[in-house]
Structure 1
């Protein structure tokens, strides 16, 4: 039995009653179906980092319901959490240590292998059966160096003949998957094809070959790669204009409202000083909860049908918005980000204000913010 502690523990009552991340699981399903409708490949739904902050288990269930046939995670504990929740589809994990191998094997999780030393550790762990050999085709992160690939594939064939492992997959990672011209991606694809050929010459018969991420699945023509890994696109991060639906909106409420006079400053060190009499509102969420501190002075939120700028420094637990002369009261709902359909800011805009990418905005929403799941249009 595996005791898995949820990342989303019951939050402190203060923020729990005021702020929440609402995840529309119908958007997850719609995004999977969008990819499946554009390509003949099977889909591996990437639910690492607790489903990019959306909640790995609910997202995984929705993705599988929509046709995903694999799940992918980075760390071993993420795979164990999915199995403990009753998900039975194949799972690939690519970051683990020797002590975690037995646990992964016990619950039938595939593991990635990049070196002969890793392969030897896996082969000596009787419970682990399926491996995916990873070739470094240009990202230069994990993966087997091309000049060591023949040794790795021959060693894998040896262990496979002994019944110690089964090489179920061969894979790699794109370095420029979101580049529309796909020039570098095509080079990586050719290297992977060469690697697969060498693996087959060594006697291996992998049933899945995979290279493309969400963007690469659209920009790269790779019919011989029967599996695509959908991560960013699963959550509605649309890098290639597919019309994907963002699944999360971050909601809060104003807790305090007050008037300040021209010349009065707001928040630490008074980096904002009012140039007119104005109304300000307090939003009870801060950088400890994932609101980027560097976005202060640039960002805005949606309240009472208008955008209200974030003013002054974003603090650990709260920030201030300028409501101008709008009539607002404590308890007024605030959309920090959503899908933009009503005019509210999006996670992509927050990423731009913070000088980062939407992935980091979603993953940064902390454990004090409860997740609530809903079903929109299926």
Structure 2
């Protein structure tokens, strides 16, 4: 035994153990339940640390849990005489990649895919996931149960879509931190795990993007919880180690010349990280990357962010012209319009738009920030 129970080890082994059970013929939903029970047993049985073969231990316990549940099912009474499986070394095969694909299956809604990924691949409990998403545990349990039923007939060895998997992980990352689980850190861990079993430039691009954004985390809010815009952040608080790692991963991905949207987003984040002060930001190059993102995605949200880059690179009037091409119902449209109008000198319009943006902001910290911006402009003496 090694001193201390390693929660990260348990989580990292979860998809491998689940893969073993499914490969042995267990139904995915029943196998996932059995693995969760084995994790609970590990917490009880490993007070001083993991055994010499933690994966083998978990596989043995999870398989016995599965057999016990099967025997208890009246419809499968014929399995009553099935022999117990003796402890054995865990097989070397690793089905982690297939689990990522299964949990992000296109038949699942985004919220269900996220929940199933966190539980089956991430090894989180239903309670932890429910706390992180601020919903009752019973609600999350139902969501996960429905998701497991949905994918129960999907062949375990079917090829999956990388784009769907990385989008699910990106959704997890954007939830940040709530409850007792740091979802941003968990998303990074899961993406590192995915990158270890899958050599794909978009997986690397996503990991680079996460690291570059996570590097700015300490500077995003004041000690009172107030939002600090990127241009006003104390860059001395940025994590240079994460930035360097993110840039290195991104450069290797871009060198493969298979550009995807997450690589392009990471390139924009890297250019922001490269500026020692906000005034040194290379907005011309950022705008070029936004043009690539528009070409790749056609997303109205990307076009909205591009309007900000146009305003910085070519002037506020040009930014407002780019903004005028978009629907004003887009999320954060009013906030972008307010910023560009302020840059253009129309403070009355900017104050009004900041206040309007605050009404529609879904995040409390962002709403308070927008209200402060409106108050700041309204407090200026009339000319």
Please give the TM-score of this superposition, normalised by the length of structure 1: 0.23
Report the structure, 1 or 2, having the larger helix content.
2
Please give the TM-score of this superposition, normalised by the length of structure 2: 0.23
Higher RCO (CA < 8 A, seq sep 6+): 1
